[in-house]
Amino acid sequence: MMNMVRFVFMMTAIVALVSCKTNIGARSPLSIGAGDMHKIIYYATLAGSSHNTQPWKVEVLGDREIRVFADTTRALNVIDPKKRELYISLGAFIENLDLAAGALGYAMEVQVLSRSERTACVAVVALERVRPSGFDLHSLVVRRTLRIPFHAADIREEEVKRILADDRQTSFFAASTAEGRFIAKQTLSAYRQQSMNRPAQSEFARWVRFSDRDVHLRQDGITTAGMQINGIKGFVVRNFFKPVDAEKKQFVQAGIQKTEKQVGNCGGWLVLTSPDNSVASWIDIGRRYERMNIICTSLHIGFQPMNQIVEEQNFLENVQHEIGKSGKIQFVARIGYMIEIPPPVSPRRPVDSVAVFYK
């Protein structure tokens, strides 16, 4: 009888632990009384980035200039050796800068520095006081990446038009079309190839934050909540797994199975192209992707970047030949309807750790 009581007590404790909101982002709220420049940087840091590396640093000069730097210590040298995705991430950051500045009453002019001008500084942003744009800053707060199956219903034509707006270098392929099925198949195969690559496994593991302690300590990377490993499984992973476990066969196979469900359950694919492989084009891709992600969230459409076919060169050549007619493929995202977009969970580093303010 006593053993049964202990068992019930233990199970009750586990259920209580599982129900706790752990590993939910370590995202600091906006500081009370923060000035406009602090607010603008805060909202910019909510941008998406590969592996949630957050590869940005900034210098803020009064209320007139912001200098954006690439933090190359956060580069993904295995899957992103040319730093394409690093600059795409900086583009997403700059897009959020622009949207936040407009909402707070500043017009923003961005100068992307040429290779000959550039050291670590990638872009110089000039600010000028204007009438607030009316943009809802909450849109930046709720934007997120979703790594779960979506509804397979076709995306309505009017909503595709809203997502694309006037972007003539982005194509949408419904999941039910031959092109959509081709992208799904190629994405799964590219993911499988990359997940079997030992250096890529090790790089991924370096950015995994399984435990709540690591999440709150690092405030970056890929968490169990971000991978949407929840419930009892999430409790076990958070408390008993180490980052090195992400390289083990069982974890890798689980990732492949999850990816198979993801590519097989969506409404379609966004394929973003550019005319060339310049830094300016990559930053432009990041700005475009961030805008589309924000719009999708407002429409209850899930959004997940799935760039394995761009990262794996043999797949990129194949997909470029088949569907990249409008330019060089730089970014691919899976989208689909959701009943509800859950709150964001990816951690973000505080403003003071990424920005230096000069008066």
Residue with tokens 């942003």: 125
CATH 3.40.109.10 residue ranges of the chain are: 36-143+345-358, 157-337
What is the DSSP-derived secondary structure letter of residue 333?
E
Which tokens sit at 225? 């909540």
Tell whether the model's pLDDT for residue 9 goes beyond 60: no
Q: How confident is the model at residue 31 (pLDDT cuts 50, 70, 90)?
A: confident
Distance CA 311, CA 331 (A): 10
Do 65 and 124 form a contact (C-beta atoms < 8 A)?
Answer: yes
Tell whether the model's pLDDT for residue 305 goes beyond 60: yes
Q: Report the pLDDT value the prediction gives residue 176, as an integer from 0 to 100.
A: 96
Tell whether the model's pLDDT for residue 329 goes beyond 60: yes
> In this predicted model, which residue has the larger pLDDT, 340 or 91?
91
Q: Report the pLDDT value the prediction gives residue 359, as an integer from 0 to 100.
A: 82
Do 170 and 270 form a contact (C-beta atoms < 8 A)?
Answer: yes
Name the 3-class secondary structure at 269. Answer: strand
Which tokens sit at 44? 């910019």
261: which residues sit within 8 A by CB, 6+ positions away?
Answer: 149
Tell whether the model's pLDDT for residue 4 goes beyond 90: no
Distance CA 207, CA 347 (A): 12
Distance CA 312, CA 192 (A): 11
Q: Report the pLDDT value the prediction gives residue 81, as an integer from 0 to 100.
A: 96
Q: Report the pLDDT value the prediction gives residue 24, as an integer from 0 to 100.
A: 53
Distance CA 224, CA 209 (A): 7
End-to-end CA separation in angstroms for the chain: 70
Residues 142-160: what's their mean pLDDT?
A: 96
For the entire predicted model, the pTM comes to 0.92
Please state whether 96 falls in left (phi above 0), alpha (psi between -120 and 50) or beta: alpha
The C-alpha angle 192, 195, 196, rounded to 5 degrees, equals 90
Distance CA 118, CA 113 (A): 6
β-pairing verdict for 56-61 and 355-358: parallel
Side-chain half-sphere of 228: how many Cα atoms within 13 Å?
Answer: 15
Q: Report the pLDDT value the prediction gives residue 217, as an integer from 0 to 100.
A: 94
Name the 3-class secondary structure at 272. Answer: strand
211: which residues sit within 8 A by CB, 6+ positions away?
Answer: 23, 238, 239
327: which residues sit within 8 A by CB, 6+ positions away?
Answer: 169, 273, 274, 275
Q: Per-residue pLDDT tens for 82-139?
A: 999 999 999 999 999 999 999 999 999 999 997 755 567 999 999 999 999 999 999 9
Name the 3-class secondary structure at 320. Answer: helix
The CATH number of 36-143+345-358 is which of 3.40.50.2030, 3.40.109.10, 1.10.10.10, 3.40.50.150?
Answer: 3.40.109.10
Distance CA 98, CA 216 (A): 28
Distance CA 297, CA 42 (A): 19
Under CATH, what is the fold of the domain 157-337?
A: NADH Oxidase (3.40.109)
Q: How many CB atoms lie within 10 A of CB 260?
A: 16
Q: CA–CA distance from 203 to each of 84, 87, 123, 173, 218 (Å)?
A: 16, 18, 28, 31, 16
Q: How confident is the model at residue 33 (pLDDT cuts 50, 70, 90)?
A: confident
